Structure 1
Amino acid sequence: MHITNRSQLISYLTPEQRLLISVCSAEESIGRAEVRDLLVKPFSWERLILLSERHKLLPMLFKNIRAESVNFPIETPSILKEKFIVQTQHVLKLASEGIRISNILNREGIPSILLKGPFLSQQIYNNDALRPSRDIDILILPDNIERVNEILRNEGYRRVYPDFELSKKQKIFYQHYKNQYAYRNPHNGCLIEIHWRLFSQKILFPTPTEQVFAERQELNMAGSPIHVLSKKHCFEYLCLHGSLHQWFRLLWLRDIAQLLNDKENHLDELLINAKKNGNERPVQQAIILSNLFFGSPEHSAITKSNNLVKSITNFAVTAAIGSEQKTLSQKITRLRIPFYKMKLKRNINYKLSCWSILHPNFNDWKRVKLPDSLFFLYFLLRPFIWFYTFYIVKKKRES
């Protein structure tokens, strides 16, 4: 699939995809102007709602459909409102718990930044319930990992990722090559991911974590001060996050469109900053895609994008409008992902780091227990454990 303009993209979309994108576009955008025409054409509410859930756009779909219905009668199925209420209640629960944990960390002298979810939603949409989320993401400084681990345990949380105690070498390896632990509270059901850097690959976002904290932005939520990424770091982080995941959720592109529509964000400065970090390709890809899908502003530097940027952009278009199962597959086809990721940056060390799929992980350590003195054997065993896990074991379960 080779897409060069929005009209061409639209021709590939189903009626439900086209309607979802139009309804969720910014109020004054070209896409939003098409909503009423699309609503009178044949489409399936069931498929539209399923699609909005896949792309995490259901709250925005409900909110904007309701806004359109003020002057244009729209009969919506009750299930849409029911799902909106359930998702909103869950997000508000996460927001409340995130603020509570942030306040506890603050009292203990541990700085933190709340990422994504309701906190990003409040930052860029001025509405904490527009972004569905399954967990609370908190960024901390690496030196505070053990202290935060202890605090969360005292608050009733248990680590579930990894869900066993790591040996000394496993912990060193994991914290060097990975960037997060996950904790769940069995009493309130909340899941918290603690990050000690923004990405597993350090070279992907070379700005020191200390600088990210020094430039963080303060917000007020529910009467409490919290900290989020600065607009500059937020934009680059979201571009990188979406690009790594091939933009298979349209909410991520809608976030980019929202930031680009904010006149306080000067695109030239954002591009310069991204280039300093070697991240101009993911940022260019994000800007092109947000323009294709949501009609966000174009930029003269982007219209002259090279063939590599066009290649990764078309790869992402296929992921965004194609099958989610194919994008998330753990089978041998997953090997196409490192080749895609290698195109995101020029740096040779980054390209090598894209093959972390070959690294042993905690699932390997859990399945095959070796003493630290034999840790090196995990590298040799990795392909065999992977094949056994995703083909032999999975086949047995399915049968």
Structure 2
Amino acid sequence: MTPLNASAEFRFVCACCRAPADPGRESAITNASRAVTDWSRVVAIARRHRVIGLTADGVRRCGGAPDEIAGELKELARSMAANGLRQIAETIRLDQALRAAGARPLFLKGMPLGALAYGNPLLKHSIDIDVVVEPDALPAAAAALDDAGYIRNTPAPDLPPAALAAWFRHAKEASWRHPVHGTCIELHGRILHNPLLVPALTARSPRQTVALQSGAEVETLAVPELYAHLVAHGAMHGWTRLKWLADLAGMVRSASVSVAELHAMADAMGAGRCSAQALLLGEALLGLELPDALANRLRADRAIRRLVRIALGCMTGRNETEESRNPTGIPLAVTASQFLLRPSWRYKWAQLRAQSANPTDRARLADRPWLAALAPAIGGVRWTVRNLGLLPRAVPLAQSARER
């Protein structure tokens, strides 16, 4: 395994990100705190990786931070919790609105995952509410969001309904924002941008209910499918934020099945490499315990070792406190790593097509098929020049990935 080239402050934040149910969490936090010399860096790392709630909780438990740092983290955590309460209320309201519109919503990550992973959803930092419906329910769901007072911002509000249908054929989500309280909603027509990564994940996948408030439940993916989604989502984004790994570790700790069983089920769905990368990262950073036989088998795979190295590089060093400097917001190493997630050539070809597909171009050219046929080539050229920094960062999907 690649040695972890990380600061003492990053290691401390990692200790705070261990699952609350982990019996070794408190001692790991206390031990890691002794090596911290720059507490302001701890705050910067926690903000960059969006683990304010967990870090504030860890600082409270170790008691070694300066009062001003503890106070700053406490205030940030309070603000995050207030946003979480608003997201819980909006998740419940959205669930009711979509059901009234004839859609059966499936919530991804967000507050339901916070409840499962931490027992307390307010420990989870959540930027938006992700909800998926079946493709034929998308028009009704979009209208329900409009009726609920949300304004679509991606794609642009002036895109006509016919073009919006074309958008959803090439993009997995569109986004809305509430003009008063700023809550963001991402409406998904599919769970993953490249459905060939985990073909079993759809709006019809098995579900479980999660209580967000007394008497208020919403649906999310069942445990095996949720695990497969989390590892696939993290892998597609190169695990560039600790919060994704922390959420996964908390979910694994609370699951009623073993790590080995979860990995086997993910492997059967096609997410074996994604799961392997996540488990080895969890072991290295968050003290996730793996059976020796499983860990040795995962480490023996050259592609998996490379995926782990790429992810560690995207989290540590300069990236501990800084966002990617790539003009698209997604490190080139992560883009390259996406092709390693499945050995299937069909998957790799679909991934190449997904990267070259600019849904804005395709949506606006939907009524001109002869021009729409050129969209993949146009998208490939635009992707290349943006990665070279020759065009401004205005790619909606890249922005969405950066904000998650």
Asked if these proteins are the same fold (TM beyond 0.5), I'd say: yes
Tell me, in whole angstroms, the C-alpha distance in 2 between the residues paired with 1:206 and 1:99.
28
Q: 1:17 to 1:29 in 2, by over 3 A?
A: farther
Q: 1:301 to 1:382 in 2, by over 3 A?
A: same
Q: What residue is the counterpart of 1:54 in the other structure?
A: 48
For 1:217, give the aligned amino acid. Q
Q: What residue is the counterpart of 1:308 in the other structure?
A: 303
Q: What residue is the counterpart of 2:400 in the other structure?
A: none
Kindly indicate whether the alpha-carbon contact (under 8 Å) linking 1:168 and 1:372 is maintained by their aligned counterparts in 2: no
Q: Shift of residue 371 of structure 1? A: 4.2
Tell me, in whole angstroms, the C-alpha distance in 2 between the residues paired with 1:259 and 1:147.
32
Other structure's SS at 1:220 match: strand
1:120-160 Cα deviation digits (max 9, x unpaired): 10122110111111111111111110001111111111211
Tell me, in whole angstroms, the C-alpha distance in 1 between the residues paired with 2:342 and 2:252.
22
Tell whether 2:170 aligns with 1:177.
Answer: yes
Tell me, in whole angstroms, the C-alpha distance in 2 between the residues paired with 1:182 and 1:228.
19
Q: 1:338 to 1:352 in 2, by over 3 A?
A: farther
Greater radius of gyration (CA): 1
> What aligned pairs does 1:104-253 form with structure 2 within 5 A after superposition?
104-166=97-159, 170-171=163-164, 173-207=166-200, 209-212=202-205, 215-223=206-214, 224-253=216-245
Tell me the C-alpha RMSD between the 2 structures.
2.8
Q: What residue is the counterpart of 1:321 in the other structure?
A: 316
Tell me, in whole angstroms, the C-alpha distance in 1 between the residues paired with 2:330 and 2:259.
36
Q: Shift of residue 175 of structure 1? A: 2.0
Tell whether 2:78 aligns with 1:80.
Answer: no
Q: What residue is the counterpart of 1:357 in the other structure?
A: 355
Tell me, in whole angstroms, the C-alpha distance in 2 between the residues paired with 1:136 and 1:31.
29
1:72-110 Cα deviation digits (max 9, x unpaired): 786352222211111111121111111111122223332
Kindly indicate whether the alpha-carbon contact (under 8 Å) linking 2:234 and 2:245 is maintained by their aligned counterparts in 1: yes
Q: 1:359 to 1:57 in 2, by over 3 A?
A: same
Tell whether 2:348 aligns with 1:340.
Answer: no
Tell me, in whole angstroms, the C-alpha distance in 2 between the residues paired with 1:73 and 1:280.
40
Q: 1:323 to 1:177 in 2, by over 3 A?
A: farther
Kindly indicate whether the alpha-carbon contact (under 8 Å) linking 2:26 and 2:61 is maintained by their aligned counterparts in 1: no
Kindly indicate whether the alpha-carbon contact (under 8 Å) linking 2:164 and 2:363 is maintained by their aligned counterparts in 1: no
Count of residues in correspondence between the two structures: 383
Tell me, in whole angstroms, the C-alpha distance in 1 between the residues paired with 2:329 and 2:144.
40
Stretch moving more, 270-279 or 140-149 = 270-279
Other structure's SS at 2:190 match: coil
Q: 1:275 to 1:107 in 2, by over 3 A?
A: same
1:154-197 Cα deviation digits (max 9, x unpaired): 11112111014446885454322321110112123211001121
Q: 1:24 to 1:377 in 2, by over 3 A?
A: closer
Task: Give % identity.
Answer: 21
Q: 1:256 to 1:331 in 2, by over 3 A?
A: closer
